[in-house]
């Protein structure tokens, strides 16, 4: 049974791949305008993934399972294509198929009035398929191909409302920014291939573990691959695309933020963690960037008035947590947070979508007091918020606690402290959203009057996700289940040995402080937020401008633009006008010289030959007089000549 399921894992990738053209070309004629294909296909994938997950938890599978066939041959090298399924893949498969299925069901309601409904579902399928391919691929080249497919689909979906200039811009921005990271990934691939001669993850792991690859190369590769992950997983300073990606439909944001796009970077680092593990430098870099991302994004998340943008910054911040968690605690810690985060972040986004669907605005200042009108959305959203804040015993508490605990255990005090502070900030801005949207008084009569609870297709996914958001963390941690799936916790000799309880109490205290302050500012108004705004005005503006990261990249883009113009000028003025044209002129002169020589020297010589032949012909013809007497004379002369030769030697 288990073997059969494992052998069928490529099918989990193939089904949505086939669903893509099926929906695109046949969707219009099918029930639900093509959504049925996507949902049924994803349901099958989810069933298979769940079965795999359960069997992996019961440890009845022989993992890792590897199967491949030769794909590319060049010279003595051979790149196979195939699947490599281990606990990590199975967790990811489950998360991706679950979130994707719920998002597709949810979109039935959310996208109901969309004219490009069919195309939307086709791209959802392709997007999910590329991510599924990425997590089961057995070599880095295939991972890279899927990685690029993910990027492409994100471009289509973020820019889905392409009539809106902002959406079109956001799609381009996401595509180009992640391409910048992909450059690092690609270079990393070159380096690792030239050092090892293989792309296969399993072979690479063996080679690295056996110490065949020098440390310098490993560090380089690790950092290059991390740059790739930075782009996809929106780490500082390449996170700028993600807040703008909010221009896409909200369910797409849920998919991007929970399961597909941003998880790819984390997954990549976890997949090749053996490379990172071997290099302390790389681990330190990853931890540093992760922590910096976590706190900077959390700070930026305090200010936006757009509900989705707050969630976007929160995602970036949590991705920073995951990266830092990977670096200090290993895949088990990092991927655990990815899993729990996927659940509650999808929940939060879908909840936000439900709110936006009801009030037709993204601005949290135009919402308020929606808890009475939308009880299910409120309850599930609140669960998501508490899970993200790390309230005991929701899932975020366990996974975040693991990361901070691991950071202390690793003795990486700056990272540990940064992450602890960040959890307070997270609690603050999430509580701010919860209070402003659902509690307090309604600030916009018009939108409040029209607000209503969303339909079942939208609320059922919310409820399912909130169940996972509540129980996943506790279940996995208390049952010691997750380490069965993704073993690989880093063990540190040095570092402070804080007990789990101490860390848990500390993080809880910080989280409650953050939530309490938000409550104090936005609900009970002990400190009015207007007054705070006046005091912190410059800081607020700096944060609102995303600490200048956008300007920094824009500056770089403009700089490279100027550089390109300068190079173009140089190319035109110097190379084109001076060198190329000079050669051109010389060539023309040379051609004229050749033509002159041809006309005046070569041609007359040729003519001379002709003239000589004519002359010889005329000479010879003059002997043919037609007079028999002349011919007789020639005969006589000829005979005389021969006789002369004969007798006068």
Partner 1 sequence: MIPLSYIFIFSSLLFVIGVFGAISRRNIITVLMSIELMFNAANVNLVAVNRIMHPADAVGQVLALFAMTVATAEVVVGLALVLAIYRKFDNVFVERFNLLRG
For partner 1, which residue of 538, 626, 646, 649 counts as binding (CB under 8 A)? 626
Alpha-carbon gap, residue 38 to 123, rounded angstroms: 10
CB of 613 to partner 1, least distance (A): 16
By CB under 8 A, what part of segment 629-648 binds partner 1?
629, 632-633, 636
Angle between helices 331-359 and 87-110 (to 10 degrees): 0
CB of 598 to partner 1, least distance (A): 37
Determine the distance from the C-alpha atom of residue 190 to the mean position of all C-alpha atoms in its chain, rounded to a whole number: 19
Match 């808890």 to its residue by tokens. Answer: 371
CB of 627 to partner 1, least distance (A): 5
Which residues are CB-contacts of 238 (< 8 A; sequence separation ≥ 6)?
A: 177, 178, 180, 181, 230, 231
Q: What are phi and psi of 525, to 5 degrees?
A: 55, 45
CB of 630 to partner 1, least distance (A): 8
For partner 1, which residue of 76, 605, 624, 645 counts as binding (CB under 8 A)? 624
Using CB under 8 A, which of the segments 5-13, 376-384, 438-446, 628-636 binds partner 1?
628-636
**CB nearer to partner 1: pick between 605 and 627:** 627
CB of 603 to partner 1, least distance (A): 31
Using CB under 8 A, which of the segments 98-106, 425-433, 578-586, 618-626 binds partner 1?
618-626
By CB under 8 A, what part of segment 469-508 binds partner 1?
none
**CB nearer to partner 1: pick between 487 and 617:** 617
**CB nearer to partner 1: pick between 372 and 614:** 614
Q: What mask of x and - would describe binding to partner 1 in positions 574 to 613, judged by CB under 8 A?
A: ----------------------------------------
CB of 591 to partner 1, least distance (A): 46
**Residue 246 β-bridge partners:** none
Using CB under 8 A, which of the segments 231-239, 347-355, 578-586, 622-630 binds partner 1?
622-630
Asked if residue 628 binds partner 1 (CB under 8 A), the reply is yes
Q: How far is CA 604 from CA 109, 351, 596, 609, 614, in A?
A: 90, 94, 12, 9, 15
**CB nearer to partner 1: pick between 445 and 621:** 621
**CB nearer to partner 1: pick between 584 and 640:** 640
Alpha-carbon gap, residue 645 to 642, rounded angstroms: 5
CB of 584 to partner 1, least distance (A): 56
Question: 3-class secondary structure for 86-107?
Answer: CHHHHHHHHHHHHHHHHHHHHH
Alpha-carbon gap, residue 326 to 338, rounded angstroms: 10
**CB nearer to partner 1: pick between 8 and 632:** 632
For partner 1, which residue of 621, 645, 647, 649 counts as binding (CB under 8 A)? 621
The count of C-alpha atoms lying within 13 angstroms of the C-alpha of 540, restricted to the half-sphere facing its C-beta, is 12
**CB nearer to partner 1: pick between 76 and 627:** 627
**CB nearer to partner 1: pick between 449 and 632:** 632
The C-alpha angle with vertex 317 and arms to 553 and 409, in degrees rounded to 5, equals: 125
Q: How far is CA 472 from CA 298, 338, 512, 530, in A?
A: 24, 12, 21, 39
Using CB under 8 A, which of the segments 272-280, 354-362, 569-577, 625-633 binds partner 1?
625-633
Q: Is the dihedral of CA 636, 639, 641, 643 positive or negative?
A: negative
**CB nearer to partner 1: pick between 47 and 633:** 633
- Burial, 68: exposed, middle or buried (Cβ in 10 Å; 0-12, 13-18, 19+)? middle
**CB nearer to partner 1: pick between 1 and 624:** 624
Question: 3-class secondary structure for 541-566?
Answer: HHHHCHHHHHHHHHHHHHHHHHHHHH
CB of 634 to partner 1, least distance (A): 10
- Burial, 69: exposed, middle or buried (Cβ in 10 Å; 0-12, 13-18, 19+)? exposed
CB of 626 to partner 1, least distance (A): 3
**CB nearer to partner 1: pick between 505 and 635:** 635
Count of chain residues binding partner 1 (CB under 8 A): 10
Asked if residue 649 binds partner 1 (CB under 8 A), the reply is no
Using CB under 8 A, which of the segments 185-193, 320-328, 486-494, 617-625 binds partner 1?
617-625
Asked if residue 564 binds partner 1 (CB under 8 A), the reply is no
Which residues are CB-contacts of 55 (< 8 A; sequence separation ≥ 6)?
A: 1, 2, 5, 61
CB 396 within 8 A of CB 387: yes
The count of C-alpha atoms lying within 13 angstroms of the C-alpha of 430, restricted to the half-sphere facing its C-beta, is 35
For partner 1, which residue of 625, 638, 641, 643 counts as binding (CB under 8 A)? 625
**CB nearer to partner 1: pick between 591 and 637:** 637
CB 399 within 8 A of CB 342: no
**CB nearer to partner 1: pick between 499 and 622:** 622
Which residues are CB-contacts of 583 (< 8 A; sequence separation ≥ 6)?
A: none
Binding residues for partner 1, rule: CB under 8 A, are 621, 624-629, 632-633, 636
């Amino acid at each position: 049974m288990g073997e059969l399921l494992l052998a069928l894992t490529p099918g989990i990738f193939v089904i949505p791949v086939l669903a893509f053209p099926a929906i695109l070309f046949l969707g219009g004629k099918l029930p639900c305008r093509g959504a049925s294909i996507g949902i049924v296909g994803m349901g099958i994938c989810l069933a298979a993934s769940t079965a795999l997950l359960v069997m992996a938890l019961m440890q009845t599978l022989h993992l890792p399972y590897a199967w491949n066939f030769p794909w590319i041959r060049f010279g003595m090298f051979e790149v196979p294509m195939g699947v490599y399924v281990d606990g990590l893949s199975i967790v990811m498969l489950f998360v991706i198929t679950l979130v994707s299925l719920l998002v597709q069901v949810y979109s039935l309601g959310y996208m109901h009035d969309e004219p490009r409904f069919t195309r939307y579902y086709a791209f959802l399928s392709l997007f999910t398929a590329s991510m599924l391919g990425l997590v089961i691929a057995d070599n880095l080249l295939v991972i890279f191909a899927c990685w690029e497919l993910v990027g492409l689909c994100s471009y289509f979906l973020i820019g889905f409302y392409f009539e809106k200039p902002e959406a079109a811009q956001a799609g381009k921005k996401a595509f180009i920014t992640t391409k910048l990271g992909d450059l690092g990934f690609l270079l990393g691939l070159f380096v690792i291939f030239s050092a090892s001669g293989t792309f296969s993850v399993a072979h690479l792991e063996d080679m690295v573990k056996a110490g065949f690859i020098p440390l310098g190369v490993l560090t380089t590769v690790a950092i290059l691959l991390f740059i790739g992950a930075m782009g996809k997983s929106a780490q500082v300073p390449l996170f700028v695309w993600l807040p703008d990606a909010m221009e896409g439909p909200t369910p797409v944001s849920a998919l991007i933020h929970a399961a597909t796009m941003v998880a790819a970077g984390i997954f990549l680092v976890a997949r090749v963690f053996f490379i990172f593990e071997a290099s302390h430098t790389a681990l330190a870099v990853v931890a540093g960037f992760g922590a910096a991302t976590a706190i900077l994004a959390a700070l930026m998340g305090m200010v936006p008035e757009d509900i989705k943008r707050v969630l976007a910054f929160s995602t970036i911040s949590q991705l920073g947590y995951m990266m830092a968690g990977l670096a200090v605690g290993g895949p088990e810690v990092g991927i655990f947070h990815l899993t729990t985060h996927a659940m509650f972040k999808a929940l939060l986004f879908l909840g936000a979508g439900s709110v936006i669907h009801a009030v037709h605005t993204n601005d949290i200042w135009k919402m308020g007091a929606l808890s009475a009108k939308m009880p299910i959305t409120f309850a599930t959203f609140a669960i998501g918020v508490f899970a993200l804040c790390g309230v005991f015993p929701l899932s975020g508490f366990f996974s975040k606690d693991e990361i901070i605990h691991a950071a202390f255990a690793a003795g990486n005090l700056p990272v540990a402290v940064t992450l602890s502070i960040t959890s307070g900030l997270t609690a603050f801005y999430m509580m701010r959203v919860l209070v402003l949207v659902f509690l307090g008084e309604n600030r916009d009569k018009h939108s409040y009057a029209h607000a209503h609870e969303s339909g079942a297709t939208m609320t059922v996914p919310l409820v399912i996700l909130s169940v996972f958001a509540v129980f996943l963390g506790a279940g996995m941690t208390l049952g010691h289940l997750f380490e069965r799936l993704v073993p690989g916790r880093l063990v540190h000799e040095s570092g402070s040995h804080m007990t789990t309880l101490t860390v848990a109490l500390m993080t809880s205290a910080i989280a409650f402080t953050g939530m309490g302050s938000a409550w104090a500012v936005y609900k009970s108004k002990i400190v009015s937020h207007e007054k705070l705004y006046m005091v912190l005005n410059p800081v607020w503006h700096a944060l609102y401008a995303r600490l200048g990261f956008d300007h920094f990249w824009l500056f770089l883009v403009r700089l490279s633009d100027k550089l390109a113009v300068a190079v173009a000028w140089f190319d035109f003025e110097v190379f084109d006008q001076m060198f190329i044209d000079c050669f051109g002129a010389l060539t023309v002169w040379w051609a004229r010289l050749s033509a002159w020589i041809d006309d005046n020297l070569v041609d007359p010589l040729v003519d001379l030959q002709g003239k000589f032949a004519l002359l010889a012909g005329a000479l010879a013809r003059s002997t043919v007089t037609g007079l028999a007497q002349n011919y007789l004379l020639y005969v006589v002369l000829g005979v005389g000549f021969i006789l002369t030769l004969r007798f006068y030697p």
